[in-house]
Structure 1
Amino acid sequence: MTDYYNPICYTVTEQEEGWLLKTVLQHKLGVSRKLLSRIKLTERGVMLNGERVFISVPVKTGDLVSISLETETSEDILPEPLPFDIVYEDEALLIVNKAPGMIVHPTHGHYTGTLANGVVHYWQEKGEEFRFRPVHRLDQETSGLIAIAKNAYIHQHISEQLIAGEVTKKYAALVHGCPEPRDGRIDGPIDRDPLEPHKRIVTETGYPALTYYKVAECYGLGSLVELRLATGRTHQIRVHMTSIGHPLIGDKLYTRQESPEPDRPGMTALGLDAAIGRQALHAAELGFRHPLTGQDLLFRSPLPQDMESLRLRLQSGR
């Protein structure tokens, strides 16, 4: 017998009297064509007043429309007991504060030790079955907030908010120097570096990319910068900050040469890079509309210990 997640329901109003069931599903429950083509073929996928019907039937005021998705598992992900920080969880979502150094999803050569391995094990221990569906991803070295959807419907809705620019994604970074102006935007198309394909560069022929930044604290040799993404290109923050001469401290890929700091003889750019050992980037704020309740959710995460220690070092000048 096939198992299903809890149904997602909608009651038809007077204004929708006579609409086709398909129209209600798409415009009131927000079911995409791709998802609708999947669920209408399953036994309990689409129901009207508790009965399976064709999606071409008209609806009446007070009718109860419901959709149910089959439970899924990530059979290709090995469950592994790993520590990770849960910020929020309900029947639809899991919000995790990812530690630096942890890969989000298994890749070639990294089949274990990822966030996915830990989350799948955590769900199994609770007796729950979900497929690991991160709505967005973070680089291995980037710490901070990441949203994981528990089914295809939730993933679809948050992804649509991302595409529409309705998701709040704010980052905190420690960068070399102090950007001027202190509050600005970086509008620079991004594409692969033809000489080093694993890197990205700002180029006129690239894909549109826009980053807003604000210097929160300037320490001379480095700064704490708040960043907001208007687009989501690979390595966008790292590439954009490098393009204006203020790369992220600790970034091994988009690094800068060591330069003398005569006013701070004990501190150099290279010394700061070595002090943290990873790019000083943290996903500090994540906000979106809950697909089921419509409630606006906003999550915040403070600087992790390694970035806070580096910030204090910059502040003290040592």
Structure 2
Amino acid sequence: MTAETRYYDPIVYVVPPEDDGMLLKTVLHRRLGMSRKLLSRLKLTEQGITVNGERRYTTVKLAAGDVVEVRMEAEESDDILPQDLPLDILYEDEHLLVVNKEAGMIVHPTHGHYVGTIANAVVHYWRERGETHRFRPVHRLDQETSGVLCIAKNPYAHQQISEQMQAGTVTKLYCAVVHGVVAADGGTVDGPIDRDPEQPHVRIVTPNGYPAVTHYEVLERYERHTLVQLRLETGRTHQIRVHMKHIGHPLVGDKMYGPPGGAELPPPFPRQALHAAKLGFEHPAAKRRLEIEAPLPADMRELVRTVRDIEPVQG
């Protein structure tokens, strides 16, 4: 005897008059934005796609007032060990979970780091609430970067936000403290990024790399450091850290891309001073804009206070 299949709550679309006579597959593509890969998967599911409560071929013509429902099978991350770890939840509904990641936590278990990750904490949180989801982060943050992290609860939500990221319509704002006084009030770093051939775990700006664009704005200048806001146009690995080093202003506390010999503040900052402050995107189901913010964490607030105390604010 097999266990009963569990489904997420359906995505519902009531056919408006202007879609009268439209094919079901066209509505699913154009109105709900479902990928061909997801639709192929849903067709194999017993209750995947229904019209007025009945399974129909996607080539059927719809009439105004028809109720289209899409149901996805509930999934679990069986390979992730649930752990009772603190989570700072910024936003949650049936499609998304957005958390404020603390510095030092890895997002997903990797070789040598099977516990103590955001994934372990999220899987435990869902199980305690009786929810069944596969852990699907729609983007990543470096271990030592804090801030907004979005996790999709189903394949449709993941697909929708991933497509927005590829289209460049997702807003990703960061705050950082960097070495040196940034002269311009703002600017753009347009520098392709790829692996360093001599150190594969390190990224460098190179003409033959993958396109990478970072916009920056000065928030406050000090005698030897600058507080900046950064907006990512692309999302390459270590992009902000690589780009700021490239223009001569590496992040405070960045052990991989920081200045030779450290040149750190007294006392030294234990991580790269980088915080994902804001994430903006269109909600995958509600189709409304979401802007989710995470306040500057205590360690970076203290860093800014320390810099202000020992270095005069510049004009």
Normalising by the smaller structure, the TM-score range is over 0.9
**What's the offset of the Cα at 1:281?**
0.3
> Residues of 2 paired with 1:170 and 1:220: CA distance?
25
Match of 1:270 among 252, 263, 267: 263
Query: What TM-score do you get using the length of structure 1 for normalisation?
Result: 0.95
Q: Specify the code of the residue in structure 2 equivalent to 1:282.
A: H
1-side partners of 2:144 and 2:86: how far apart?
A: 17
Contact 2:253 2:264 survives alignment (8 Å):
no
Q: Any idea what the Cα deviations from partners look like across 1:79-113, whole Å, max 9, x if unmatched?
A: 01001211111111111000000000000110000
Q: Does 1:211 align with 2:214?
A: yes
Q: Deviations over 1:9-54 (max 9, x none)?
A: 1111222222211111111111110000001111000001100111
Structure 2 CA distance, aligned partners of 1:26 and 1:68?
Answer: 15
Task: Report the counterpart of residue 305 of structure 2 in structure 1.
Answer: 312
- Contact 1:173 / 1:248 at 8 angstroms: preserved in 2? yes
Counterpart position of 1:165: 168
Overall identity of the aligned pairs, in %:
59
Number of the residue aligned with 2:83: 80
Q: Aligned residue pairs: how many?
A: 308
Which position in structure 2 is the counterpart of 1:257?
Answer: 260
2:100 partner letter: N
1:178 and 1:215 in contact (8 A); partners too: no
Residue type of the alignment partner of 1:31: M
* Residue pair 2:278, 2:294 contacting (<8 A) in 1 also: yes
Q: Which runs of 5+ in 2 are unaligned?
A: none
CA deviation profile, 1:153-198 (whole Å, cap 9, x unmatched): 0111111111111111000000001112121110111111111111
Aligned counterpart, 1:264 = none
Distance 2:215 2:32 in 1: 33
Match of 1:279 in 2: 272
1:141-290 equivalences in 2 (<5 Å): 141-258=144-261, 270-272=263-265, 275-290=268-283
Describe the superposition over 1:237-290 as per-residue Cα deviations: whole angstroms up to 9, x where unpaired: 0000000100000001002124xxxxxxxxxx6332862111000000111111
Which letter does structure 1 place at the counterpart of 2:252? Answer: I
Aligned partner (choices 96, 99, 103) of residue 100 of structure 1 = 103
Candidates 113, 117, 123, aligned match of 1:114: 117
Find the aligned partners of 1:183 and 1:73 in 2 and give their Cα distance: 44
**Cα pair 2:252 2:264 within 8 Å, conserved:** no
Query: Following the alignment from structure 1 to structure 2, what is the Cα–Cα distance between the partners of residues 210 and 196?
Result: 22
Partner of 2:285: 292
The one-letter code of the counterpart of 2:52 is N
For 2:57 and 2:288, locate their aligned partners in 1 and report how far apart those are by CA, in whole Å.
Answer: 31
Superposition misfits of 4+ residues, deviation over 6 angstroms: none
> Equivalent residue of 1:199, what SS?
strand
Q: Does the 8 A contact of 1:275 with 1:310 survive in 2? A: no
CA–CA distance in 2 between the matches of 1:26 and 1:250? Answer: 46
Q: Distance in 1 between matches of 2:189 and 2:182?
A: 11
In 1: Cα distance, 2:196 partner to 2:140 partner: 22
Letter in 2 for 1:311: V
Offset of residue 294 of structure 1: 1.5
